[in-house]
């Protein structure tokens, strides 16, 4: 177990990220076979997850919340990917370890029309102790709620695990996200349906042109992973409604 490498990584990321956690690969036993850390990295031992929040100010912008989210997301995704690449090279410079970055957004893997991350960063973040799932299906960090954008690294280096957060992040009786959703993405029992939300909320100018006709599914992965990186987010109602995305503490 490499305590010293974990400390070095924590120091390396200290001024670069706002949240950081370490999960051992044995916490991924229930991951779908194709999306298990071992499919990304040979001899995978540890999944490192880190995040940077988008500013809360975009959610309360009178007219420009969606514009603010668009630029914040796509700026932080690229930034997180750069940090992931730098962290892989840092880990590999410290010994005979393999490391591979888990991208913050694309490339995505498609199962039919449904996009999946190579590794689910939300599940990895929960496994690494960064937060817990809320009723909206998102991962909520104790300070940043679901405004934390994530990326990660899978490595063959074994490092000490961080504790999991088991508390439910949702206040008792809250269902604000479900009430506000204009797409009906939640079932009556509150289950989040990704494939109702996505077509309503994720837009891209090229999709109607490039993804039409009977064989659209045959090239959806190539279209989304090349042209789709700068998608437009057309809905943020659940983000705005959620009390977990409001400030938790007074600044000093």
Binding of ligand SF4 by 144 (CB under 6 A): no
Considering only 69, 153, 176, 211, the residue that binds ligand SF4 (CB under 6 A) is 176
Binding of ligand SF4 by 237 (CB under 6 A): yes
Q: Which of 91, 80, 93, 7 is nearest to 50 (CA)?
A: 80
Considering only 134, 161, 220, 228, the residue that binds ligand SF4 (CB under 6 A) is 134
Please tell me the distance from the alpha carbon of residue 34 to that of residue 92, in angstroms, as a whole number: 25
Q: Which of 56, 34, 172 is nearest to 109 (CA)?
A: 34
Distance (Å) of CA 227 to CA 164, 177, 232: 37, 30, 12
Considering only 183, 206, 223, 227, the residue that binds ligand SF4 (CB under 6 A) is 183
Binding of ligand SF4 by 54 (CB under 6 A): no
Binding of ligand SF4 by 139 (CB under 6 A): no
Residue 251, SS3 per DSSP: coil
Closer residue to ligand SF4, CB minimum distance, 27 or 135: 135
Stretch that binds ligand SF4, among 19-27, 45-53, 100-108, 236-244 (CB under 6 A): 236-244
Please tell me the distance from the alpha carbon of residue 146 to that of residue 32, in angstroms, as a whole number: 23
Provide CB contacts within 8 A for 90, sequence distance 6+: 8, 9, 12
Read off the DSSP letter of residue 156. S
Binding of ligand SF4 by 47 (CB under 6 A): no
Binding of ligand SF4 by 244 (CB under 6 A): yes
Binding of ligand SF4 by 156 (CB under 6 A): no
Residue 54 Cβ, how far from ligand SF4 at the closest point, in Å? 14
Please tell me the distance from the alpha carbon of residue 75 to that of residue 54, in angstroms, as a whole number: 10
Please tell me the distance from the alpha carbon of residue 130 to that of residue 143, in angstroms, as a whole number: 10
Residue 231 Cβ, how far from ligand SF4 at the closest point, in Å? 13
Contact set with ligand SF4 (CB under 6 A):
134-136, 170-171, 174-177, 180-181, 183, 185, 197, 200-201, 235, 237-238, 241-244
């Amino acid at each position: 177990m490499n305590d010293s490498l974990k400390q070095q990584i924590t120091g390396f990321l200290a001024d670069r990220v706002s949240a950081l956690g370490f999960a051992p690969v044995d916490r991924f036993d229930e991951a779908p076979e194709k999306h298990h850390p071992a499919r990304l990295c040979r001899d995978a031992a540890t999944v490192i997850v880190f995040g940077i929040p988008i500013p809360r100010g975009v959610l309360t912008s009178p007219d420009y919340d969606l514009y603010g989210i668009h630029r914040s997301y796509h700026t932080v995704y690229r930034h997180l990917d750069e940090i992931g690449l730098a962290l892989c090279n840092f880990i590999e410079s410290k010994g005979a370890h393999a490391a591979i970055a888990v991208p913050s957004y694309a490339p995505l893997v498609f199962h039919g029309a449904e996009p999946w991350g190579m590794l689910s960063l939300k599940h990895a973040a929960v496994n690494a102790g960064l937060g817990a799932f809320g009723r909206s299906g998102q991962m909520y960090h104790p300070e940043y709620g679901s405004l934390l954008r994530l990326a990660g690294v899978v490595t063959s280096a074994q490092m000490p695990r961080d504790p999991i957060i088991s508390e439910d992040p949702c206040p008792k009786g809250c269902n604000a996200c479900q009430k506000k959703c204009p797409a009906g993405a939640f079932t009556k029992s509150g289950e989040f349906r990704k494939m109702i939300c996505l077509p309503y909320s994720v837009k891209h100018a090229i999709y109607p042109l490039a993804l039409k006709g009977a064989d659209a599914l045959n090239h959806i992965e190539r279209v989304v992973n090349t042209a789709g990186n700068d998608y437009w987010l057309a809905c943020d109602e659940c983000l705005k409604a959620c009390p977990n995305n409001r400030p938790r503490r007074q600044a000093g």
